[in-house]
Amino acid sequence: LIYFDHNATTPLAPEVAEALAVASQDIYGNASSIHRVGQLARQHLETARSTIAASLHAAPSEMVFTSGGTESNNLAILGLARGKHVITTSIEHPSVLEPCRHLELTHVRPGPNGVIDPAEIARSIRPDTVLVSVMHANNEIGTIQPIAQIAALLRDQRAAGRTIYLHSDGVQALGKIPVDLQALGVDLYSISAHKIYGPKGIGALYVRKGVPLRGIQYGGRHERERRAGTENVPSAIAFARAVELCAPDPAPALAAIRDRFESRVLAAIEDVEINGAASPRLPNTSNLLFDGVSGEAMVIALDMKNMAVSTGSACSSGSIEPSHVLLSIGRTRDQAKSSLRFSFGRYNTVQDADALGDAVIACARRLRKKARQEAHLVRA
């Protein structure tokens, strides 16, 4: 099976699997224990924290380990903005949209290009706004948001005496595009290990020094009182190893494979469009609309050909809802249901991309032909 669903999750890198196996055996202490077994775990935890912080241009004390992207997003939003007004976007991941539903909320919509206009954020600011949450890169269509520009406009607000913090969900950006938190100018930034060839169930939240974040779960005084619960030291070690293995700029290699795939498909079949084509996109992500083809049927047909891809939208209670992201950029329900996400990764080769292209072309042709025959039968 060839895997093209890296935005859903990535396989463990062999180097990470090795680090995780060794640490799970050897570093079993509780990082809060006073004895040497505990102190060894503490040392490893802090080394892992430093490695991750350094790669993002942050200070170690600004990194809080969590159980993943979902928890980091919940902690950022509910830990800062409970009872206050928040501005977010209509294309966020559910782990941002859902906690925001418990707050005073304004949604900003992107243009048809899938990018948020910072001026729309500025227009949505109210006297009681405390937080703006805009994802760095979208998981479905890969569009990259103008985070540094949004940070600059919030700095202007600060100069005028109003403090509004900026959170960005960086879960899809890390490992695919360079991430420098100082250059981005964010106050809070979420990351997750399983999107960068690390283990599932560990992530981190960057909390800029001085940001008044309060923990959202009650218990021990771990993680500087921002996240109660015994730290998952082996996974933190493996997360740091995964961060170390990320190329400084993986974009050229990934984009070469993705662009080759897109050209092949677009040259061979008609009525295919790239969702988010006109915008800066993650180098590994391709979201294609195949007019008149069921995305779900394509995923199943490709699975039969040993290729794992995704519709990009959530499947709940057996029925696939059209993607809220595609609807937000102005696609119809039918168009959204005819779209597929291909997300390439570190171990994909040019040959893999060609094989995928050929399979996609064959499946789309076959499904279109079948749909035409069925329509003909209904008419007859």
Name the site residues for ligand PLP (rule: CB under 6 A): 68-70, 73, 93, 95, 135, 139, 169, 171-172, 192, 194, 203
Dist. CA 370–CA 376, nearest whole Å: 10
For 37, other C-beta atoms within 10 Å of its C-beta total: 12
Question: Which residue number is nearest to ligand PLP in terms of Cβ?
Answer: 69
| C-beta closer to ligand PLP: residue 285 or 338 | 285
Tell me how far, at minimum, the Cβ of 185 lies from ligand PLP, in Å.
Answer: 20
| C-beta closer to ligand PLP: residue 172 or 279 | 172
Tell me how far, at minimum, the Cβ of 71 lies from ligand PLP, in Å.
Answer: 7
| Helices 14-26 + 233-245 axis angle, to 10 | 160
Residue found by looking up tokens 């995923």 in the block: 299
Dist. CA 327–CA 337, nearest whole Å: 10
* Tokens coding 181: 């938190």
Tell me how far, at minimum, the Cβ of 90 lies from ligand PLP, in Å.
Answer: 14
Dist. CA 80–CA 129, nearest whole Å: 11
| C-beta closer to ligand PLP: residue 29 or 68 | 68
Strands in 339-343's sheet, in edge-to-edge order, are: 272-274, 285-290, 339-343
Tell me how far, at minimum, the Cβ of 192 lies from ligand PLP, in Å.
Answer: 3
Tell me how far, at minimum, the Cβ of 175 lies from ligand PLP, in Å.
Answer: 12
| C-beta closer to ligand PLP: residue 195 or 331 | 195
Give the burial class of 248: count Cβ atoms within 10 A of its Cβ; 0-12 exposed, 13-18 middle, 19 or more buried: exposed
Contacts of residue 371, defined as CB under 8 A and 6 or more positions apart, other chains included, come to 292, 293, 294
In the annotation, is 246 catalytic?
Answer: no
| C-beta closer to ligand PLP: residue 165 or 239 | 239
Question: 3-class DSSP state for residue 110?
Answer: coil
From the list 100, 246, 315, 363, the catalytic residue is 315
| C-beta closer to ligand PLP: residue 310 or 335 | 310
Tell me how far, at minimum, the Cβ of 289 lies from ligand PLP, in Å.
Answer: 20
Tell me how far, at minimum, the Cβ of 190 lies from ligand PLP, in Å.
Answer: 7
In this structure, what are the phi and psi dihedrals at residue 372, rounded to the nearest 5 degrees?
A: -65, -40
| C-beta closer to ligand PLP: residue 171 or 301 | 171
Dist. CA 223–CA 247, nearest whole Å: 28
Give the rounded distance of the alpha carbon of 194 from its chain centre.
Answer: 10
Residue found by looking up tokens 């993705």 in the block: 258
Dist. CA 319–CA 295, nearest whole Å: 12
| Helices 251-268 + 350-379 axis angle, to 10 | 30
Radius of gyration from C-alpha coordinates of the chain: 22
Contacts of residue 198, defined as CB under 8 A and 6 or more positions apart, other chains included, come to 10, 12, 13, 16, 235, 238, 239, 241, 242, 243
Instruction: Report the catalytic residues.
Output: 315
